[in-house]
Structure 1
């Protein structure tokens, strides 16, 4: 959500399938209306974030009505607490937040109902006039009435969304990989290890040892056994390859993961990297497969995993990564304050490699981990 997007919706002077206007915040005796509106928006058929824009008077030509002094105003935590108290099916609740926007002396709030694959959201116990087991949605600019359920085709669409049936094959694969317990090993999978998704066996993932790949990265030296084995991780829908990732076996086979991606930061006017780092971005295919292969069912695997992750940056989004790079570029001159208590593993000499370069990359990775914590604390 951004300010220009909300302003564009206001200028349309009409409500729609994923946005609604309220002149003021919901009164205390209108909690059922608030919950009902949130559920309808969470189950919107546009498959995207939805907005309840508070502080726009649609009966007065969609003019602003500032919420600065509104006694019923809520922040994100209050709204989350309100949702948490309700009995949703499976304990799965809509994800909501409140964003405030300034327009000169006017301030409006936007209740953001974040898009989710967990649809349909519905109650198992009634809350005032909001009925249990009724599935509410929003069609065009109208919500399902509280005493009714949505039409069957719309309910089917919401269930299809939950099971990934509205998504592309790669998007469905990423949904299914988030449930590793539902994957089975194919018989006769040696030397290629192949697994399939139990409910849709046309989705498969295989690992193939790639003997042509050989190389060392700084994070390998944090393992007891520093020698890697490199693999290809191939994701298929029927016979069509959806993606191919580089994988590696760490610490003598105790831990397996897709290799992280690489980015860097330039501290000068030139475009070369002065600092490089390895990273994952949450909800990327690399990170989802990384989580898929980590079972955490043995001490050796857990130790190898933890040592690996101490060297890798994990970002919420690509935007956060780019903002962090800017932060590092502006604060790298303060590097000495992050140098304390950094433990360095033993770096044995490897023919053909400049060990001092690998040491520096490892050292920088530990500084960047500390800087990322500080970056998030001051955002």
Structure 2
């Protein structure tokens, strides 16, 4: 579904009354005989030089002052699934295809469709087998408002750009290091007798991650009690480029140090900060820096570490996207008055705390985490 920001952007592009480097206008959907043009346009847009999502906006009549040509009952109209199947049936090099979807947008004067070609790092997208005049091995792109002709290939400078994009050479250091962190096997330990643990990326050793004990933090958090040894062990984590700190967070040693990870993020169930008894929860979102680090630190070869990780994740929420998190918050907030119903079969671990702590507060937080886990499972099957 198009976000409000994307809708505003498309309206702005239409108002420009000209095509550009990542958007194109079509009066109507591609006829059967124009399927090669559809494939060619998708490939050019997927290889755009703007490093962003691209749009083929269908239902805009360029020859009639860019007015809307309503698509409600249009012939040859395609759904997302139909377009995905169309692309899937073409043989791309390496089996790597552009990601496409069809979105519909209602304007005052009619309905338009938008083919959204998602930005990706697998450029250049190239056919392995020709399709009706769209040539195999030709690298197509889009410059300004023009596609590379079907019988030609992009200029060498444009091809170099697309390969640099694939290898993440166009990224800023912060983005690049988190791409490198996806490849745990390519990081090496730095032999050091100090209390600081350091690792570097062996193909670009200027990228370093290090962590050391945190002297000014010694408190408890509810998820510590998911472990056999619940004593707190806190660390400072730094992700560096040369001596510049690109990213920092807190680390935690769980179960007496058998498992190490970065702490999860915190959010609140109710967006109204004045809501009485607002409920906090701990979470990761897949694909984010926090989740990448969480996976990076996992020692998959250690049975003890994996056991500790499993126990930890039993009381932490893990979302597939920020959108899922926000939608789930609405769902859980609507169900929260029935919290007690979700406590059936909930078992809390034993909690041993120094006398200055309120045990009931930690028990409530732990209960809330388990209730939210149940709600998340329910939400995903809702």
TM-score by length of 1: 0.91
Tell me if the contact between 2:264 and 2:284 (Cα under 8 Å) persists in the aligned partners. yes
| Cα separation, partners in 2 of 1:351 and 1:152, compared to 1, 3 Å | farther
SS at match of 1:277: strand
| Cα deviation digits, residues 293-341 of structure 1 (max 9, x gap) | 2243343332222222222223344455444434433332232443344
**Which residue of structure 2 lines up, in the alignment, with residue 32 of structure 1?**
36
**Equivalences for 1:1-379 in 2 at 5 Å?**
1=2, 2-104=6-108, 106-188=110-192, 191-266=195-270, 270=274, 274-318=278-322, 320-375=324-379
Tell me if the contact between 2:68 and 2:109 (Cα under 8 Å) persists in the aligned partners. no
Measure the CA separation in 1 of the matches of 2:276 and 2:339: 20
Over the residues paired in the alignment, what is the CA RMSD in angstroms? 2.4
Shift in Å, 1:35: 1.9
| Cα separation, partners in 2 of 1:374 and 1:68, compared to 1, 3 Å | farther
Measure the CA separation in 2 of the matches of 1:265 and 1:239: 38
| Cα deviation digits, residues 2-39 of structure 1 (max 9, x gap) | 32221111111111111111122222333322222112
TM-score by length of 2: 0.90
Shift in Å, 1:278: 0.8
Shift in Å, 1:50: 0.8
Measure the CA separation in 2 of the matches of 1:176 and 1:72: 44
Shift in Å, 1:143: 0.9
Measure the CA separation in 2 of the matches of 1:228 and 1:89: 50
Shift in Å, 1:146: 1.8
Measure the CA separation in 1 of the matches of 2:271 and 2:163: 49
SS at match of 1:249: strand
Aligned length: 378
SS at match of 2:205: coil
| Cα deviation digits, residues 128-149 of structure 1 (max 9, x gap) | 3222222211111111112222
Measure the CA separation in 2 of the matches of 1:338 and 1:221: 20
SS at match of 2:203: coil
Shift in Å, 1:348: 3.0
